[in-house]
Structure 1
Amino acid sequence: MRQFLRHIALAWLVLPGDAGAHDWYTGKTDPVLHYDCCGGKDCHPINSNDVRMTKDGYFVRMPRPAYLNESQEPEWFIPRERVQTSPDDQYHICERLMTFYRTIIPHLKFEAYYRFRWTCFFAPPGTGSIQSD
């Protein structure tokens, strides 16, 4: 019996706990650029207090203020045509860490830096700026 309980505990630790929450993002693409929204754990719900709707789209406060030593924009603008409907009453965003390069000494040396960029944005049903399908 004790061996059986160990196997159950091990299976519980090994199996991913949030796989069901991630499933609905799978296969989603940006409606304009056609990039895949999710590549692992890139997508997550965000607090509605971090979202501000305008007639042209949404301003979303960054989930993190900075990465490493590179400061980030305080908000991302998501144009209306790139907003998709979420399956629940929450906002969701997909973001990826991307590598960029800048010139340190013109034409001689480049330095890599990293920034998060959003790839997909989902708003709750009934939100005014979502285009109907």
Structure 2
Amino acid sequence: MGEPRRWIALAWLVLSGDADAHDWYTGKKDPVTQADCCGSKDCHAIDRRDVRETKDGYYVKLPRPAYMNEPQEPEWFIPRERALASADDRYHLCEHLMTFYRTIIPHMKFEAYQRYAWRCFFVPKGTS
């Protein structure tokens, strides 16, 4: 009788493990645009050294190039009014990959390219 309970408890621990570690992103919205921040696939913690705070907002060093196959832009500026409170003592960034199109003038054709854009930015509680 005690053995099945142990297996059930073990299965519950394994299945509930780290899968929902970032559930607190779900349901959060940008305070200005009201866009959904998305979930753990788009949101992640970033290193404190990659954030520079000013009186107007935050400069965030990009975790990767903003444009695929093009040089990396140095930073994103995130206005203070668009920052949300983090659930822990870390900075978090929600970003997504967007597809854009540009024309190639000599051939008058369109070329698709992708660019990362941020959706939500979370700051540790107590950050001014």
Is TM (by shorter chain) over 0.5?
A: yes
Q: Distance in 1 between matches of 2:34 and 2:72?
A: 24
Find runs of 4+ consecutive structure 1 residues off by over 4 angstroms: none
TM-score normalised to the size of structure 1?
A: 0.78
Give the corresponding residue for 2:20. 20
Paired positions, count: 119
Paired residues of 2:99 and 2:114 also in contact (CA < 8 A): yes
Give the corresponding residue for 2:4. none
Provide the secondary structure at the position in 2 that maps to 1:19.
coil
Give the corresponding residue for 1:85. 85
Letter in structure 2 aligned against 1:84: L
1:116 Cα deviation (Å)?
Answer: 0.7
Mark the runs of 5 or more structure 2 residues left unpaired by the alignment: 1-6
1:105 Cα deviation (Å)?
Answer: 1.4
Mark the runs of 5 or more structure 1 residues left unpaired by the alignment: 129-133
What CA RMSD, in Å, does the superposition of the two structures yield over aligned residues?
A: 2.4
Provide the secondary structure at the position in 2 that maps to 1:122.
strand
1:20 and 1:40, CA in 2 relative to 1: closer, same or farther beyond 3 A? closer
Letter in structure 2 aligned against 1:81: E
TM-score normalised to the size of structure 2?
A: 0.81
Provide the secondary structure at the position in 2 that maps to 1:20.
coil
The answer to whether structure 1 residue 55 and structure 2 residue 55 are counterparts is: yes
